[in-house]
Amino acid sequence: MPSKNPVGLWLRAGAVALVAIGTSAAGAEGVTATGAAKATAGGAAGAELTVQQILERHAAARGGAEPWHKIQTMTWTGHIESGPGGISKHPFLLMFRRPAATRFEILGEGQRSVRVFDGTVGWKQRPTSQGTFDVTEYSAEEIGFARDAGGLDGPLLDSKAKGISIALEGIGSVEGRRAYHLKLTLPSGQVRDDWIDVENFLELRYDRATRNAVGATGIVPVYLRNYQTVNGLVMPLLIETGGPASRDTDKMIVEKIALNPTLDNAQFTRPSVPTTRRRGVVVNTQSSPANSPAGR
């Protein structure tokens, strides 16, 4: 895996109604996640809290554990910006299905790359220099990364059930905001540092392990920004890898989100190798009837 991957842990897992950036799927005015979270924080900012209390407030800030449990599938569509000033832009499609399956497609230079994880094994489909496609299985390390991701709702919700242990390291700072510093021990044994805002209890940053093409390991910070409320669930629509200290950051910009869309089981199996280059899969990003806004 490249050392700077804008998809972060969400891609390695392979982090709703149709929504555009900045607006709620119900068609009402955009509601910032900060405002939604402050209502649940109960004025406890900076108070001495246990790990369990922090996680409970974090779940409430994201819309509540129970509403998240009702989400069985989810898709994100948008684009990834990389290079100086975000000069390189590539559209992507990211699909999630409980408990841990994902499919990620990205289009670059007119060629499509695909990563699929079915919850147990994974595959990578990449274009070759000869204009054909090559499919390889995930390595043991990549499978470990995928399992560590914690499914579509991440490692902080239902962490014990996912085999994740969490310790409180103290209170630090992220871009001038006070934040609880959590240390997660993931199922693979890898350790991840996480920072939760002491005021709104949303995730500000996490650090993830990486390995580049030549095998060198490192740690890359991932910042979660532009939180918005989507049918009562709060999620970031901008995921930035590298952060302000990096010369060039990668940005994953989510433009549309669908909750509980119908997804073909075949999307989470080994990719078939096309004989010629073709466009990506078509996904119905309309929500299931239970989540669809009236009249849409």
Two tokens, residue 195 = 């920072």
* Higher per-residue confidence, 4 vs 199: 199
Q: Which residues contact 172 (CB under 8 A, 6 or more apart)?
A: 178, 179, 181, 195
For residue range 183-238, what is the model confidence (pLDDT) as tens digits? Answer: 999 999 999 999 999 999 999 999 987 776 677 778 889 999 999 999 999 999 99
The answer to whether the CB of 75 falls within 8 A of the CB of 261 is yes
Q: Which of 232, 194, 200 is nearest to 58 (CA)?
A: 200
pTM: 0.76
In tens, the pLDDT along 100-159 reads 999 999 987 778 899 999 999 999 998 887 778 899 999 999 999 999 999 999 999 999
Residue 222, strand partner residues: 206, 241
SS3 content of the chain, % helix, strand, coil (to 5): 15, 40, 45
82: left (phi over 0), alpha (psi -120 to 50) or beta: beta
Q: Are 135 and 119 in contact (CB under 8 A)?
A: no
| Residue spans per domain, the chain | 8-154+226-266
- Residue 242 pLDDT grade (very low, low, confident, very high; cuts 50, 70, 90): confident
pLDDT digits (tens, 9 = 90+) for 153-178: 999 999 999 999 999 999 999 999 99
Burial status of residue 143 (CB atoms within 10 A of its CB: 0-12, 13-18, 19 or more): middle
Amino acid letter for position 111: Q
**Containing H/E element for 76?**
strand 73-82
Compare 120 and 285 and report the one with higher pLDDT: 120
φ, ψ for residue 52, nearest 5 deg: -60, -40
What is the percentage of the chain residues whose pLDDT exceeds 70? 73
CATH architecture, domain defined by 8-154+226-266:
Clam (2.50)
Confidence of residue 68 (pLDDT cuts 50, 70, 90): very high
In this prediction, residue 247 carries a pLDDT of: 66
Q: For residues 21 and 237, is the Cβ–Cβ distance under 8 A?
A: yes
Backbone angles phi, psi at 106, to 5 degrees: -140, 140
Taking a C-beta distance cutoff of 8 angstroms, is the pair 17, 25 a contact?
yes
Higher pLDDT, 24 or 90: 90
Task: Copy the structure tokens of residue 231.
Answer: 């049918």
Ramachandran sector of residue 200 (left: φ over 0; alpha: ψ -120 to 50; beta: rest)? alpha
Average pLDDT over residues 257-272: 95
Least confident of 32-41, 77-86, 106-115: 32-41
Q: How far is CA 237 from CA 114, 162, 287, in A?
A: 21, 25, 18
Contact indicator for 248, 83 with CB cutoff of 8 Å: yes
DSSP string, 141-203: HHHHHHHHT-GGG-SSTTTTTTT-EEEEEEEEEETTEEEEEEEEE-TTS-EEEEEEETTT--E
Minimal CA–CA distance to 122: which of 270, 3, 264?
Answer: 270
Q: Which residue in this structure is represented by tokens 């079915």?
A: 118
Lowest mean pLDDT among 26-40, 125-139, 153-167, 277-291: 26-40
Instruction: State the average pLDDT over residues 25-43.
Output: 34
Side-chain-side CA neighbours of 259 within 13 Å: the count stands at 24
